[in-house]
């Protein structure tokens, strides 16, 4: 899986899955892209593309949805397979009742 996060100024920050033997410490492409961007001081995002080498589209997992919401807000989520299947959603559709600073 790969991800490309776009800032509101058009800069692209990429990420890929970083897997390891313990699975629980694996990082998804979406979180890698967000953490790379934030570590470089980027803060305003409008879209993320998630591309998989699969027959089926893959939406961000629960932890990725949470991180995307907290750091990016209600951005566009573009899902695509290498075979050309595509779908675009808003993050709010994937995470309708987010946990964020309003809950603290």
pLDDT score, position 24? 86
In the predicted model, what is the mean pLDDT of residues 7-30? Answer: 95
Task: Exactly one of 11, 19, 30, 70 is catalytic; name it.
Answer: 30
What gap in Å lies between CA 31 and CA 3, rounded to an integer? 9
Domain that holds residue 41: 2-103
What is the pTM (predicted TM-score) of this model? Answer: 0.93
Averaged pLDDT for residues 28-46: 98
Look at residue 23 in the predicted model and tell me its pLDDT: 83
Question: What CATH number did the domain enclosing 45 receive?
Answer: 3.40.140.10
Q: Is-catalytic flag, 30?
A: yes
pLDDT in tens, 40-99: 999 999 999 999 999 999 999 999 999 999 999 999 999 999 999 999 999 999 999 999
Number of domains in the chain: 1
């Amino acid at each position: 899986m790969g991800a490309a996060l776009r800032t509101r100024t058009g800069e692209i920050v990429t990420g890929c899955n970083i897997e390891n033997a313990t699975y629980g410490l694996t990082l998804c492409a979406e979180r890698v892209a967000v953490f790379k961007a934030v570590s470089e001081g980027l803060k305003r995002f409008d879209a993320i593309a998630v591309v998989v080498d699969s027959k089926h589209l893959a939406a961000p997992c629960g932890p990725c949805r949470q991180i995307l919401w907290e750091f990016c807000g209600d951005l566009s989520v573009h899902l695509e397979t290498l075979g050309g299947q595509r779908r675009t959603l808003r993050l709010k559709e994937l995470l309708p009742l987010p946990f964020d600073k309003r809950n603290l």
